[in-house]
Amino acid sequence: MSTQTRSGIHGLSVTTSDPQSTVQSEYYKALQNQADQAVGSIYGVRITPISQAAVGGFNYIWENPSLNFNLGTYGYVNSRVVPIPGVSPGAQLTDPISTDYDNVLRRIAFKYSTTDQAKINAAQTAANAQATAVVSQYTSSYGPITQQMMQAVGVTTPIDYIIQYVVAQQWSCTLQQKQPPLSLTQMEQARDLQALLPCMPPSGANMLSSISLYLSNLSSVLPLQQLSMNANWLLARLLANTETPTTANGGMTTVDPNNGSTAVHVGYTINTAVTAIQNDLANTGRTLTINMSTSQTSQSTMSVNVAGSGAINVPMDWFMSLGGSASAEYNLYSFQGTGQSASVSMTFAGYSFVPVQPNQFQEDTVTGWFDASVIAQAVASKGQDVTGYYFVADPGYDFSAGGDFGMLNGVLIANFPTITINYQDGSYSKFMESFSESSSWDVRVFGIKIGSFSQSLYKSSVQQSSQSRGFTVTFTPSTEVLTV
């Protein structure tokens, strides 16, 4: 297993105390089940709730009229996905995945198994005279081959530098044309090797007979050497396209919506038009709803039961708090007439699934930056005597399922939830003596304010039950502050 892909839906923040983590886990399970039923089966994904505490919301207007990618959206989708300690299911976004991916690639190299290396060594010993001749001719014309030069192209010997890089890439023109290198078999079997090397300088013609003889002596192991050549070429291209993205190698131009400045970053693809996302959000007939029941257990604690999972005692102010227009803070039972029990529902009306993919590396065009197979092979070869990629140093990540090297492959976004609190045994008249209907409210759930607004987000309304007791308070997102 290399990188994991996850589809996110925004959840709430995280705490580490056990009862609170348990409540959040149950909330996330209920949210996950709702989301999976709504879109998971359609897109073939498993939805994982994402804590919004560190990253804020998802900028769904991901493209401007000039077709540049929103920098805020890029920062979100380019985050590494890691589990939330003590909360499952649940994930959070951390540092840029492109940077971490580059760090992992820097710790990967190609090697032969003991058996394959013995075959290579035997063949190279037999061809040693020809190799010496090729290296001598090259260095006399073009100068010495340094360790830095070999390291830059992923080879360990001067002869491999000449054959696998100079001849197969530079002299073949594939490097300049951004194409895969000429294969060793093509060169070995060519009737006219010079015809395959249009970028070879005139002085190189004197080396062709020695090169052909060298390749002929290695014909039995050329497929093995080709593996190394292809692996080192791919690794070099991935590093180049990740570290120095351009619009020519698959990078994309981002725009900062705050100041209009542009830059080029590694590329991501979102195939959902902004208008389609907006239409989805406007379809409020599609809803996700989480039902919870609560009861007051003391002046400072309450029990919470999420979707019938079982009652758990948590701090009252932590579960849900209300910030009034006068900067006062209230919990579910701060007001007169609430009684000692209440049911709470959070309904997300209008949602849209936005698939996201990093630009995969394309060998034919040498564009894109992401290739999970390189990491997967290095992970699989750990402790094994096999030919292929391996880690020359521990990258420090957990690549297993549920590990800390995950990527988003989509985001399920929704409008801010409508929160309904039903006090079944409450007194409407007493409640209205202390509650100011239609005031502006900040609503916090699990300690995090819903939304990132300086002004209050929610408007309230109260409806008395048709029976003798009980009433319902509804907090509805205000359209006045729901900006892009």
The pLDDT value recorded for residue 2 is 34
| pLDDT, tens only, 288-317 | 999 999 999 999 999 999 999 999 999 998
Q: Measuring CA to CA, how many Å separate 411 from each of 7, 9, 84, 115?
A: 5, 6, 17, 47
Distance CA 20, CA 17 (A): 6
The CA radius of gyration of the chain, in Å to the nearest whole number, is 31
The pLDDT value recorded for residue 3 is 40
Please tell me whether residue 217 adopts helix, strand or coil conformation: helix
The pLDDT value recorded for residue 41 is 80
Can you spell out the DSSP letters for 342-402? EEEEEEEESEEEEE-EE-B-BTTTTB--B-HHHHHHHHHTTT---SEEEESS------STT
**How many Cβ atoms sit within 10 Å of the Cβ of residue 295?**
17
The pLDDT value recorded for residue 467 is 72
The pLDDT value recorded for residue 112 is 96
**Maximal C-alpha separation, the chain:** 104
- E strand or H helix that includes residue 237: helix 222-243
The pLDDT value recorded for residue 16 is 47
**Sequence letter at residue 222:** L
Token pair of 175 as six digits = 């490097």
The three-point CA angle 283-286-291 to 5° equals: 140
Q: Are 215 and 132 in contact (CB under 8 A)?
A: no
Beta bridge partners of 342: 294
The pLDDT value recorded for residue 438 is 59
Distance CA 103, CA 377 (A): 16
Residues in the chain: 484
**Sequence letter at residue 422:** N
Number of C-alpha atoms within 13 angstroms, CB side, residue 213?
A: 14
Distance CA 360, CA 267 (A): 9
Q: Measuring CA to CA, how many Å separate 143 from each of 13, 24, 149, 173, 333?
A: 61, 65, 12, 21, 83
The DSSP symbol for 367 reads: B
Residues 6+ positions from 396 with CB-CB distance below 8 Å: none
- Give the chain's residues under pLDDT 70: 1-17, 52-55, 325-327, 437-438, 451-456, 468, 480-484
The DSSP symbol for 415 reads: P
pTM of the predicted model, to two decimals?
0.85
Q: Measuring CA to CA, how many Å separate 435 from each of 334, 342, 439?
A: 10, 16, 9
Q: Are 126 and 83 in contact (CB under 8 A)?
A: no
Number of C-alpha atoms within 13 angstroms, CB side, residue 305?
A: 11
Distance CA 459, CA 438 (A): 5
Distance CA 123, CA 121 (A): 5
Distance CA 85, CA 402 (A): 11
The pLDDT value recorded for residue 446 is 82
Q: How do strand 287-296 and strand 341-349 relate by DSSP bridges?
A: antiparallel
Distance CA 3, CA 405 (A): 6
For the chain, counts of helices (H) and of strands (E): 15, 24
